[in-house]
Each structure stands twice: as C-alpha cells, then as structure tokens.
Chain A
C-alpha cells in the first residue's frame, strides 16, 4: 500500500478539491481519510453514505467537586494552562483550557479533583463510489486534533490496509495535526498558490516534511493569477530538486463543482479538469515508482 497525503502549509489552496479529483482519476483500490479534522470538507464532494460512527475520547478533563473543595487555591496556582477559574470562593475548571494533565488532581490536598472522560469528537466511516472514507468531527474549540488525526489514520488502516492507495486530505499548518498526518506516509503532494504567502508557507511545510523523509511533490493551483509568483515557485522547486507535477489554472468551473458537491473532474471538460488529469498522470508515474521501491 502507498500512503499519500495532500497538504499545503497555507490554508485554502485547494487541497480538498484536488484530493477529491484524484480519488476519481487514480485507478486501483483505495481508502480515503480526511485528516483536516478541525474543518473537514472532503465529505462535501464525495456524497458519502455513513456506515458507522465511533466516539472520540480526547484527554480527560478535571472536575472540581465543590462539596470537597477547601478553597486552598493549590489547583489554580499549579495549573500551567490557566484552566482553573475562581468565582468568589468557588473554583472551577474551564474545559476549553484544560489539557487533561491531572496536575490539579495530584496537587489537591482534599482529593476534590477527579479526571472525567470527555468526548471531544467522533470518527465516521462512510462509503463512497471510490472506497471507504474515514472522516471526523472535532467538537469546535476542543484540543487533541493531532490525536484525532492519528485515530482517523489508524481506523482507515485497520479496515482497509489491503488497498493499493491510502489517499489523505491533510490539514493546513505545520503543527501537531500536520505532523500526525505525514508521519508514516510514502509521499506528500503539497498544493500551493502563486503568492508570496504561498511560497513562504510551502518552504516551511517542506522543511517539516523532510524530517519524515517522504517523497515530496508540488502542484500550483490557480497558477495563472500571478504568473510571476508561479515562476518563483518553479525556480525554487527546481533548486530544491522537488518535482513540480501540476499547474492548475484559475477556473470558475471549480467553484461551480464545489457548489454542486462533486469533484471538478466529474463536472465535464474544463481547463482545471484537463490540468488535474495531467497532474494525476504524473502522480501515477511517481506512485508506480514508489510501489516498485517497496
């Protein structure tokens, strides 16, 4: 099995649109995962039929029993996350800030603090025309998105580990959800856009990826909105020995297909579709090569 993550560094460059199109264009059996668990959008393009939902338990949350609390303030002074709040003489834990470290429970001389399990999201397994999709919903404002990403990937691998391709729609950024997404993948496709921000964020995310040694590939979306910046990205990729395997033009057909809830490549011929077909063909070669290495 080849594991490929579509990532970007900068948000909103077109990861999800491209992932959905690739799911349609790449032949062979596959399993899909949406690892942008904060704001998962892949389901909006693949019309998934929900098979089952599993609760996701994040870190436990501290709860102070007011009947046992002796108001010593030990919990408040020990908590490094500012999660313990005092209202007059009552102490309580703000679950949005509690990271579940249990230091307050260890520190409390009156044993008034207990660590309670909390559900901070759910993992969904669905059926699509191109195979199973594992996606998730994080409770807005909850932490542990990196852990949830790990669970999403594990769920997909456990049920569909025999597929040819594991195609992952990744999160933006370079922090824990991204690191959790790219750990263990064979290749990443970084989707960027022609702007100073796009190139800056591309460089940073590539630096993170290199610590994990996957094959790194780049595609530029909406490249014709700024051909000068697109050129800068090309020059940088060449200097870094990173294959640029696709250049997709700005095309209103993309927004229209998102509004219809289908991959753009399913919406008929358009400049974006043609460019993504070329991207998919180049990607196939790369994946074949990786398969041979395995």
Chain B
C-alpha cells in the first residue's frame, strides 16, 4: 500500500503526520517513509541517521559544434526556449530545459547528444528498526523538482508499505507525489486559508482518482466550516489534533510526538487503519 500526505496550504503539519504514522507502524512492521518535499525536505531532521547518498541527474543536450550547421531546427522544436541558435554558435539555457529529448530527435545532422546533469540527490537511511527513510533533495538553484520526486518514489518501488510526504501546493510536485498512491491524507487547519487550499487539494486528489481523507491539525475547536465542507463533499475527517503548546514544542525541537508521548501511538495507528479502509486494503 502506498499512502500520500498532502495539504494545499504549507505548514499545516504534513511532515508531523507522516513522521508519526511511520514511527508508530515501524514498531510492528516494516515501513518506508519517502520525503517527496524535495525543495524543503524535513523528515531527516526528525530521524537523524547515517545516510547513503546517490546523485539524481537529468539528461541535457550537448551540441557538437563541428557537426552543427546552425539550421535552427532544434530551437524551433524546443517548446521551452532553452536553445537559441546564432549564426556561428548555439546558446543553451539549462534551467529552462525539461530534458524531453526533442532537440536531439529533430537534429538532421545528429549533432546533439545528451549528457547527465546533476539536479539533486537521494539519501537512504535506517534511523530506527523497521523504518527506511528515503529523502530527496533538490540542489539549491535548480528549478525542477519533479525528476527528484520520480527518483525517490522509484527507490521505494516494491516496498510493502510506503508513506509519501508531499510538498505543499497543488501543481506538478503534488501531482507527481499523489500519482499512483492508493489513498491520501489531506492535512488542514481550520482557518479560511486552510479551507481555501483544502478545496484545491481535494480537487487535485479527485482528478488523479486518489481517495482522500482529512486530518484537522492545531484545532482550536472552531472547526465548523471545515466540518461542513467535509460533509458536503463526502470526505471523512480521520483525525483532529488539538492546538497544544507542548505538541508544538515537541515538533519544533525535532522530536516525534509518538515517541515523546507514547499515548498518541494508538491515535496514529487508528488513523492508518482508516487510511487502509479508504484505500480498500484489508488490515
């Protein structure tokens, strides 16, 4: 089973939920936690351990100037404006390149080949018994998160139980994370910001056909609007976590709620069981 944790709005507590489910499950069965927020990964801060790191590369075109006759077909084919053909040379803007291979395909002189370019790294660790943590990290200044997300998810292929922690938002990184998951938890907070962005996240999950359930985090008891939205859209509220300065403090110092306060383990286990039901998996 593959479960994603997403949110729309940032800072609602995705990583907190992901870390606590993974910590609790690892006590009884093997679990793989995947940090798909590759722009700002945080899960390794909660699970410090020695890591094995591998580079992630994407193919980028290299033009053989001797073979090139500057016909301009590659510039014309590139939909991203990454190539500009001048009279005697070619300008390439790697940050605009999507590595689609189009320029190489259309070059009549076969003057273009591809070479790998590093865009980030994957770290794998075993911080506690039963838990494998896979983190993706985009190199700073590199714009494209999606190849790293693809790479971390591939690394978890074949693992029986996978939990993917998504980046906030509703665009390509979130689509890439949710794609192929059996269910997702959308973490929200009961403010107009939280609800506004929850609507969008629910929409993305529906477009991808991933069943979604809701966790309300840092609840101050004024959850009426969120509850009404969930009823109207037939979304189950899987868990409500109250606002509590002690929980905030545990989280801010990089600790895990279920380790610091073990009584929370049964809550997060129950959350996981509900997600399994959402995903249609018998537990």
Residue positions of A touching B, CB distance < 8 A = 8-13, 16, 37-39, 41, 44, 59-60, 78, 80-81, 96-97, 99-103, 106-107, 138, 140-146, 171-179, 193-198, 200-201, 204-205, 207-208, 211, 225-226, 228-229, 252, 255, 258-259, 261
Contact A201 B42 (CB under 8 A): yes
* Complex Cα spacing A205 to B138, Å: 12
Query: Which B residues between 150 and 209 are near A, CB-CB below 8 angstroms?
Result: 167-175, 179, 191-193, 196-197, 200-201, 203-204, 207-208
Contact A226 B10 (CB under 8 A): no
Which 5 A-B residue pairs are closest in the complex by CB-CB distance? A11-B10, A12-B11, A101-B100, A38-B169, A195-B252
Interface: B141 (CB within 8 A)? yes
* Complex Cα spacing A285 to B152, Å: 45
Contact B169 A101 (CB under 8 A): no
**Cβ contacts A to B, 5 pairs, < 8 Å:** A38-B8, A81-B100, A179-B143, A195-B251, A258-B192
Of B138, B169, B200, chain A has the most CB atoms within 10 Å of the CB of B169
Contact B101 A103 (CB under 8 A): yes
Contact A226 B249 (CB under 8 A): yes
* Complex Cα spacing A102 to B191, Å: 42
Interface: B30 (CB within 8 A)? no
Q: With contacts defined as CB atoms under 8 Å apart, how many contacts are there between chain A and chain B in the complex?
A: 196
Closest CB-CB distance, B64 to chain A, in whole Å? 20
Contact B245 A225 (CB under 8 A): yes
Interface: B12 (CB within 8 A)? yes
Closest CB-CB distance, B207 to chain A, in whole Å? 5
Chain B residue contacts of A103, Cβ below 8 A? 100-102, 105
Partner of B40, one of A9, A146, A226: A9
* Complex Cα spacing A149 to B246, Å: 38
Looking across the interface, which residue of chain B has its beta carbon closest to that of A13? Answer: B11
Chain B residue contacts of A255, Cβ below 8 A? 191, 220
Query: Which B residues between 4 and 32 are near A, CB-CB below 8 angstroms?
Result: 7-12, 15
Chain A residue contacts of B204, Cβ below 8 A? 140-141
Contact A229 B253 (CB under 8 A): yes
* Complex Cα spacing A96 to B172, Å: 8
* Complex Cα spacing A140 to B222, Å: 27
Contact A176 B101 (CB under 8 A): no
Closest CB-CB distance, A63 to chain B, in whole Å? 15
Chain B residue contacts of A259, Cβ below 8 A? 191-192, 222
Given A174-B40, A175-B144, A226-B253, verify A38-B170 contact (CB < 8 Å).
yes
Contact B193 A140 (CB under 8 A): no
Closest CB-CB distance, A114 to chain B, in whole Å? 14
Contact B138 A96 (CB under 8 A): no
Chain B residue contacts of A141, Cβ below 8 A? 170-171, 174-175, 203-204, 207-208
Closest CB-CB distance, B224 to chain A, in whole Å? 11
* Complex Cα spacing A146 to B220, Å: 35
Given A44-B196, A138-B171, A204-B40, verify A11-B45 contact (CB < 8 Å).
no
* Complex Cα spacing A143 to B196, Å: 19
Interface: B72 (CB within 8 A)? no
Partner of A80, one of B45, B100, B197: B100
Chain B residue contacts of A195, Cβ below 8 A? 251-254
Contact A142 B9 (CB under 8 A): no
Closest CB-CB distance, A35 to chain B, in whole Å? 12
Given A59-B79, A197-B15, verify A39-B196 contact (CB < 8 Å).
yes
Closest CB-CB distance, B73 to chain A, in whole Å? 10
* Complex Cα spacing A228 to B201, Å: 34
Looking across the interface, which residue of chain B has its beta carbon closest to that of A224? Answer: B245
* Complex Cα spacing A9 to B39, Å: 8
Of B10, B15, B144, B208, chain A has the most CB atoms within 10 Å of the CB of B10
Of B101, B145, B245, chain A has the most CB atoms within 10 Å of the CB of B101
Given A101-B102, A103-B102, A174-B39, verify A146-B252 contact (CB < 8 Å).
no
Contact B193 A44 (CB under 8 A): yes
Closest CB-CB distance, B4 to chain A, in whole Å? 14
Of A10, A11, A173, A178, chain B has the most CB atoms within 10 Å of the CB of A11
